[in-house]
Structure 1
Amino acid sequence: MRIAQQAAAFDPALEGYVVYAIGSRGKRLRPILALLAGGATGKINSNHVDLAVIVELIHIATLVHDDVMDEAERRRAQPTANARWGNSLSVLLGDCLFAHALTLSTNFENADIGRAIARTAAVVCSGEMIQTQRRFDLNLTVQDYLRIVEMKTGSLFSTAAELAAVTSEADSNVIEIFKNFG
């Protein structure tokens, strides 16, 4: 899959770390959503595949960072990056994955797609920060919690579906429907 091929874009000294991070067998829900939304709004093309790769790289970057913050030792029955190489390398690995995803997002002919991806990455990171700030907040309301989940998780799903429709040049009403669906 194109996600696994991304490791070759990194310096050879980093490639093994990237292969390990992207090689975990997750469900790949975000890229699947991007491809399904692309197919539902037109014919899937290389831009849809690129979008799928980008949203998955962002997701993987967040998992690497989450594992550091949670001091997790295992994910999907495998040692986490931080368990293998420590927090410093793991944080930098997550940063490299984010940066690579954002670099890939500049390749779209429609610059609005790249900007939307960058905004989503910022929202995801902000959601993680707010969750960390409020981790032990006994006054956290359900509404506050849902906002955090929307930022950390929902925004990437929403962007995957919305931008797949944008890439298909769907009608603005259809784009909005896919954004809300995601």
Structure 2
Amino acid sequence: MKLPSFLKPRPAFPFELVKPEIERVEELLMEQARAFDPNVEGYISYVCNTSGKRIRPALAVLAGGATGGVTNEHRQLSIILEMIHIASLVHDDIMDGATIRREMPTAAAKWGNALSVLLGDSLFAYALELATQFNESSICRKIARASRDVACGEILQTQRRFDFTLSMEEYFKIIEMKTAALFASATELGARLNGRSDSVVTSMYNYGNRLGTAYQIYDDCIDLVGDEKEIGKTLGTDLAKGKLTLPMLFLLRDATEAQRTKLQRMVLKGEPMDTTILASIADYAGAIEHAVNTAKEMLEEARKDLICLDASPHKEALVTITQYLDGLLDQCRTSV
């Protein structure tokens, strides 16, 4: 089912409502970079400027606005979550051998793997140091747990590379840890900082978890059907590195025994693969369709999680994010 025209995706991610807050977060991130040794500051500033749309900070601010109001603690949460995210990207790019992010060389491509590992570690450590400044110790614990989940999710995914016994359930566990954990932390803690009830906090956690999971599925699809110049980062790395993402799991599930054997043999080569080859072997378009539909179902559930909130521009923005991602998923379907 196609989206009506008024829900079609706009050119930029729909965070206009909190644009001033995100601009402030950008300034605060640069201030945090200056907290490092002067010989390290330049590295920190560089990766902070190449890390993307600031989705997690925007979610923390929107969740705060939708549950009582945005405070300095929400801004602090935004900075911490973004630094954890940036650290994970630095490490991801090393493991994936990615050379481009946001149309700029990755840290690994620019300075090598050894320095980049330490750079990511420094960002992780400093983010957790900042988290200790919250008055409520449970906030710090939850941030630390989300950081652990991100790292463990990457470990699990690395363990299961080229593992054709990976189940759908295991796949979802991995992406909920490596991607959705920070989305869920942003929305859950955004509500918790405003002292909202446990039921509201849980609903906001569920919203972030579903949104983050759907976003990772979209990212998995884009790795197969996206255009590097348009997306601004190295694509096609998942299959070459043996990552069995949701589209590939659907492709393997629905293939005949002979097709499955051929697909597995190709993936095991560990080489970049032209997706037209995949399409010639099995129902590649159908696999993308299944993945897109799975993500869209999650987004529908995420919208239901917001029913507990009073009407407000911030709540409307949280709904709009899911509709925007719906539109991006539709584009994945038509790009096959």
What is the TM-score of this pair, normalised by structure 1?
A: 0.98
- Choose the corresponding residue for 2:198, options 157, 172, 177: 172
Distance 1:86 1:94 in 2: 12
Partner of 1:162: 188
Contact kept, 8 Å, 2:51 with 2:101, in 1: the verdict is no
Whether 1:125 and 2:137 are equivalent positions in the alignment is: no
Counterpart code for 1:43: G
> How many residue pairs were aligned?
182
**Residue by residue, what CA displacement relative to the aligned partner does 1:47-89 show, whole Å, maximum 9, x if unpaired?**
0000011111000000000001111111111000011111010
Higher-RCO chain (CA-CA 8 Å, sequence separation at least 6)? 1
Task: Report the CA distance between 1:25 and its aligned residue.
Answer: 5.3
Quote the residue 2:64 is aligned against: 38
Matches for 1:97-116 after TM superposition, within 5 Å: 97-116=123-142
2:101 and 2:123 mapped to 1: Cα distance? 18
SS at match of 2:52: coil
Q: What amino acid does structure 1 have at the position aligned with 2:101?
A: R
Aligned residue among 68, 71, 80 for 2:97: 71
Q: Cα RMSD between the aligned structures?
A: 0.8
AA aligned opposite 2:72: S
**Paired position in structure 1 for 2:36:** 10
Q: 167, 170, 178: which one pairs with 1:152? A: 178
Report SS of the residue matched to 1:125: helix
Q: Take 2:116 and 2:50, find their aligned partners in 1: how far apart are those partners?
A: 15
5+ residue gaps, structure 2, are 1-25, 209-336
Letter aligned with residue 50 of structure 1: Q
Q: Which residue of 1 aligns with 2:286?
A: none
Distance across 2 between alignment mates of 1:65 and 1:175: 31
Please give the secondary structure, in 1, of the residue aligned with 2:152.
Answer: helix
Note if 1:139 corresponds to 2:176.
Answer: no
- Write the letter of the residue equivalent to 2:201: I
C-alpha separation in 1, matches of 2:155 and 2:53:
25
SS at match of 2:154: helix
Match of 2:49 among 2, 6, 23: 23
Distance 1:79 1:39 in 2: 35
User: Aligned partners of 2:92, 2:140: CA distance in 1, in Å?
Assistant: 24
Who is 2:74 aligned against?
48
Q: Distance in 1 between matches of 2:75 and 2:179?
A: 20
CA distance in 1 between counterparts of 2:170 and 2:190 reads 29
Deviations 1:22-53 (A, max 9, x none): 01151111110000000011110000000011
Question: What's the offset of the Cα at 1:146?
Answer: 1.0
* Structure 1 range deviating more: 16-25 or 124-133: 16-25
> Which residue of 1 is the match for residue 207 of structure 2?
181
Higher Rg of the two aligned structures? 2
Q: What are structure 1's unaligned runs of at least 5 residues?
A: none
Aligned to 1:91: 117
Contact 2:56 2:182 (C-alpha < 8 Å) held by counterparts: yes
